[in-house]
Amino acid sequence: MFIKILEYKIFCGTKVNLLKLINEANKINIISGNPEVLYMGMYNEKLKALYIDSKSVIIPDGVGTVIASKILNTPVKEKIAGIEVMEEIIKNCEAEGKGIYLVGAQEEVLKECIINLIIKYPKLKILGSKNGYFDLNNCQELIEDIEEKKPFAIFVAMGCPRQEIFISKFFETLPCKVFMGVGGSFDVFAGKVKRAPKWMINLGLEWLYRVANEPFRIKRLIYIPKFLMRVVISKYFNKRK
């Protein structure tokens, strides 16, 4: 159920397969593996260690990752958006009475996110929250709160690499079963940012919609060709061995 892209094991099953894997795991860290995230991991030892950890699962969240799998002739079954996985976990938590914890974003965004989640999932247990503006090396009060409340899942929305550093730092000690860095997902649930129309998502054009609405993101697109070039070079050299 996994393929190899560069040094990473990438989940290649369906979203249904992934949810089954999450449900069966004792402890799991879900990583939204778009080209930017994976490329950064090649130059940051802490990130790389987290990405290749046996308890981490990298999902193909990004058209560039899907293209990379095709270049290597090991295509993934589907692109899996991190925000959709997050919402499926939330649905399951509401149905099963399990709690979640939210860390990240601006205070206003976080509050709106919580309000909208409660409106949509009225039985959901949000056990606690904290905005993303704190010192990662001086957050004992937050850690103690999470330890006390024992949420099933913790969602961390502070962007890469900050959210991954937080997860790496506390993964082993916190009592959560599911850890997930979710980038700007709180902004979407808060209604501050909209996802692309379904037809654009299905065509793999969500990145275009996001850049059109948030032009500052255009500089981040450079990671796609950089990442794909590394994949092509890797394939060429592996063939010559």
pLDDT one-digit tens code per residue, 137-151: 999 999 999 999 999
The pairing of beta strand 178-181 with beta strand 28-32: parallel
Domain that holds residue 93: 2-240
Q: pLDDT tens digits, residue range 53-102?
A: 999 999 999 899 999 999 999 999 999 999 999 999 999 999 999 999 99
What lies within 8 Å, CB to CB, of 176 at 6+ separation is 27, 101, 146, 150, 151, 152, 153, 154
- Output the pLDDT for position 197: 87
Other Cβ atoms less than 10 A from the Cβ of 225: the count is 11
- Residue 241, pLDDT > 60, answer no
pTM metric for this prediction = 0.94
Q: Which of 185, 101, 184 minimizes the C-alpha distance to 143?
A: 101
- The domain tally of the chain equals 1
Q: Strand, coil or helix: what is 143?
A: helix
Q: Strand, coil or helix: what is 131?
A: coil
Mean pLDDT value across residues 184-209:
86
- Residue 205, pLDDT > 80, answer no
